[in-house]
Chain A
Amino acid sequence: MALAKRIIPCLDCDQGRVVKGVRFLDIRDAGDPVEISKRYCDQGADEITFLDITASSEGRQTTIHTVEAIASQVFIPLTVGGGIRKLQDIRDMLNAGADKVGINTTAVLNPEFVREAAGRFGSQCIVVAIDAKKVSLSTEAERWEIFTHGGRKPTGLDAVAWAERMVSYGAGEILLTSMDRDGTRNGFDLALNRRISEAVSVPVIASGGVGTLQHLVDGIIEGRADAVLAASIFHFGEFTIPEAKRYMAAHGITVRL
């Protein structure tokens, strides 16, 4: 008996449609986030993360309807990230059925927002998403900085110190993405993940770079992650969630089978 490590598939959505293609053989509409979420839930996903990349404000209304539709049919935890700028945005998402919201750029621009959000809605629903990049030279001690705007804009904030600060402000969980690894399929930045996971008291979700099932195992064991997030290895049907869980279990990791 022990708490299971979690596998979290992530859906990137624009105007209510999944934008990074999903290729399940037997799915009718590969762009429908409701159908895809149900599929992952039936396969045994432990949570779903819905990342909204919609830019327009009309699009936000679509997002709320999509979250409502997912939450009416998927009975596992649902995190919604992207475009959370005001307390009202959080309330809208929770009312629509989200269990947690991910806060990223707004936390960097206004760290007090995280404190207000946790005070109002409780730490259990506040996930601070951190995009970090290594900035040290190979001859120096390893150091990572926070970047915004998809990894293009440096902030000068040290990633480990930032994670500690966000937890002290009330973040209930950290979603940590390595911008060096995101999209590379070379595996998580294990040193970064381990440093942050050991520095904070709350769970850390490793993200960015998964290409093989061994990467998931490495993220948990070497990176000390409490959960692993992945998109493309599941979307393109290379691996199913049960395959990933069986592989992790065979490597001594407690999972929900």
Chain B
Amino acid sequence: MKKIAVIDYGMGNLHSVAKAVEHVDGHVRVEVTASEDSILAADRVIFPGVGAMRDCMAEIRRLGIDDMLRRVVETTPVLAICVGMQALMEYSEENQGVDCIGLFPGRVRRFSGSLHDSSGVALKVPHMGWNNVAQTRAHALWQDIPDDSRFYFVHSYFVEPAKRDCVVGESAYPEAFAAAIADHNIFAVQFHPEKSQRHGLQLLKNFVHWDGGI
């Protein structure tokens, strides 16, 4: 039975992602935890997150999750979700600027406050709802998910990797942005697979079955 650790640093709803993983695979044991022993012993690690980056990074550092993650990614597949993905970058513009974990070179930027769609209607921030994700690179986690499927997003900031070659999925609002990035054992998504119905559940299933690497 595979052990899946969902990292708990006190930010947000972890019930949903834990339930969704249990739902897609009856042969996993999901533990919501901040324990270093549990996280390092897990077969798969999920790094979720919601809320403000300054608060998230403060808890991540206080609990030593940044150092744990640096060790975990050497050996174990990791799925980062939403603010979890953003925290993997070097720096975020949120809260007047926050230094992040830095597993991916690049930064986190805010959507401009004056976005318009093609017909001139103002676009709202947060970017909230179901948007298409173009699979810009093949990856094991896209298996059995049609290209351009819709996933559920809710965010006001997006990642801008310094190197484009880590981008595996793109969405647009209205400009293209990185919806999924990957490197070695890490797959990180801006959308919420646990809230994206069948395609999201398929992605979680693919993650449970993924042994890391591209």
Interface flag for A115 (CB, 8 Å): no
Cβ < 8 Å to B, chain A residues 98-136: 98-99, 121-125
Q: Are A226 and B131 in contact (CB under 8 A)?
A: no
Does A1 contact B15, Cβ atoms closer than 8 Å? no
* Interface pair A75/B197, CB less than 8 Å apart: yes
Determine if A46 and B194 form an interchain contact, defined as CB atoms under 8 angstroms apart.
Answer: no
Q: A1-B134, A76-B197, A97-B19 are in contact. Are A203 and B13 (CB under 8 A)?
A: no
B16-64: which residues lie under 8 A (CB-CB) from chain A? 16, 19-20, 23, 50-52
Using known A-B contacts A4-B131, A122-B52, determine if residue A95 contacts B154 with beta carbons closer than 8 Å.
Answer: no
Which label, helix, strand, loop or mixed, suits the secondary structure of the A interface? Answer: loop
Known: A71-B16, A95-B15. 10 other contacts (CB 8 A): A3-B127, A4-B129, A46-B130, A72-B19, A75-B16, A75-B20, A75-B23, A97-B16, A198-B122, A203-B129
B162 at the interface (CB under 8 A from A): no
Instruction: Report the interface size class on chain A.
Output: 35 or more
B182-195 vs A: 1/0 string, CB under 8 Å? Answer: 00000000001011
Q: Is B144 in the interface zone, CB < 8 Å from A? A: no
Residue pair A2, B201 in contact (C-beta under 8 Å)? no
A84 interface contact, C-beta 8 A: no
Determine whether the beta carbon of B16 is less than 8 Å from that of A2: no
Contacts of A43-101 to chain B: CB distance below 8 A: 46, 68, 71-73, 75-77, 94-99
- Chain B residues contacting A75 (CB-CB under 8 Å) are 16, 20, 23, 194-197, 200-201
- Which residues of B come within 8 Å of A, CB atoms? 12-13, 15-16, 19-20, 23, 50-52, 113, 117, 121-132, 134, 148, 150, 152-155, 171-174, 192, 194-197, 200-201
**Complex Cα spacing A49 to B154, Å:** 16
Name the prevailing secondary structure of the B interface residues. mixed
Interface residues of A (CB under 8 A from B): 1-6, 41, 46, 68, 71-73, 75-77, 94-99, 121-125, 172-173, 198, 201-204, 224, 226-227, 256
Which of A3, A99, A198 has the most CB atoms of chain B within a 10 A radius of its CB? A3
Q: Which residue from B127, B171, B195 sits with its C-beta under 8 Å from A77?
A: B195
Chain A minimum-CB-distance residue to B194: A75
Residue pair B148, A71 in contact (C-beta under 8 Å): no
Asked if B13 and A99 make an inter-chain contact with CB atoms under 8 angstroms apart, the answer reads yes
CA distance A227 to B172 in the complex (A): 19
User: Taking the nearest CB of chain A, how far is it from the CB of B173, in angstroms?
Assistant: 6
For B171, list chain A residues within 8 Å (CB). Answer: 1
Which residues of the other chain, B, contact A204 by a CB distance below 8 angstroms?
Answer: 124
Q: Are the CB atoms of B13 and A201 closer together than 8 Å? A: no
CB distance from B58 to the nearest CB of A (A): 14
Give chain B nearest CB distance to A175 CB in angstroms. Answer: 13
Q: Does B126 contact A124, Cβ atoms closer than 8 Å?
A: yes
Residue with the greatest number of chain B CB neighbours at <10 A, chosen from A75, A97, A224: A75
The minimal Cβ–Cβ distance linking B95 to chain A, given in whole angstroms, is: 12
Q: Which residues of A lie under 8 Å from residue B125 when comparing CB positions?
A: 201-202
Q: How far is the CA of A224 from the CA of B121 in the complex (A)?
A: 9
Residue of A nearest to B170 (CB): A1
Per the bound structure, the CA–CA distance linking A72 and B22 in Å amounts to 9
Is the Cβ of B130 less than 8 Å from the Cβ of A202? no
